[in-house]
Amino acid sequence: MFTGIITDIGELTKVSRDTGGEWGDTRFDVSCRYDPATIDIGASIALAGACMTVIELTQTDDGCIFAVEVSDESLDKTTLASWTEGTKMNLERAMKVGDEYGGHMVSGHVDARARVKSIEPIAGSLKFTFEAPDDLMFGIAPKGSVTLNGVSLTVNEVSGTEFTVNVIPHTAQVTTLGDLRAGDEINLEIDTIARYVARYVMHMKDRA
């Protein structure tokens, strides 16, 4: 479980495709500033909002390089399939009991890719307009929470298949959101609570 508060920016150093069946489908090696002594093999780290399992660790001078295996399902549902060596991504460690709950409940299970339609500077912040799949709009509501590339954000407006969020300067600087451009795709996870409320409503309608 995550909260959508980014704790580091990672960089993809190597992409490998498994042909021998030893460790999975696709392997990403990611450099970061985390202390490797605090990461266990099997630990969960969210890469741009996608929860991945650490399978290998190598200490470096300023942090470590950790490896994860990415299934074809993850490549299909997220932006990870387009990543190449040098790609930067938002990182978040799985939360521990007692950690500050600064964002909202994030599972790290990306629902789909959304597209940046426009970016508008407003009083130092950035107003992003995103276009999302129609079948996910039930889970995106004004003043509700949404996870974009792993970042917990508050939805401002919703219209059809579009929604807007404001990104303050600090968030733009300490995440990769400040590097986005119109037309870029991002990983989208709708609010977990909204998902279950919608499921409950559908179940009650079926029983009626």
Identify the residue with better confidence: 122 or 207.
122
> How many domains, the chain?
2
**What is the DSSP secondary-structure string of 115-179?**
EEEEEEEETTEEEEEEE--GGGGGG--TT-EEEETTEEEEEEEEETTEEEEEE-HHHHHHSGGGG
Whole-number Å distance between alpha carbons of 205 and 19: 47
Do 183 and 116 share a structural domain?
Answer: yes
Could you tell me the residue range of the domain that residue 153 belongs to?
Answer: 112-201
> Which of 33, 61, 93 lies at the terminal end of a domain, its last residue?
93
Does the pLDDT value for residue 201 go beyond 70?
yes
pTM of the prediction? 0.91
Cα–Cα dist 21/195, whole Å: 35
Q: What is the CATH number of the domain that holds 182?
A: 2.40.30.20
- Indicate whether 64 belongs to any domain: yes
| pLDDT at residue 102 in the model | 72
Asked whether residue 76 is domain-assigned, the answer is yes
Q: Are residues 88 and 116 in the same domain?
A: no
User: pLDDT (tens digit, 9 = 90+) per residue, 107-126?
Assistant: 999 999 999 999 999 999 99
Q: What is the mean pLDDT of residues 151-173?
A: 97
Domain boundary among 42, 60, 93: 93
Residues 57 and 124 in one domain: no
In a domain, 12, yes or no: yes
Strand partners, 208: none
Q: Residue 23 pLDDT > 60, yes or no? A: no
In a domain? residue 98: no
Lowest mean pLDDT among 19-23, 63-67, 72-76, 88-92: 19-23
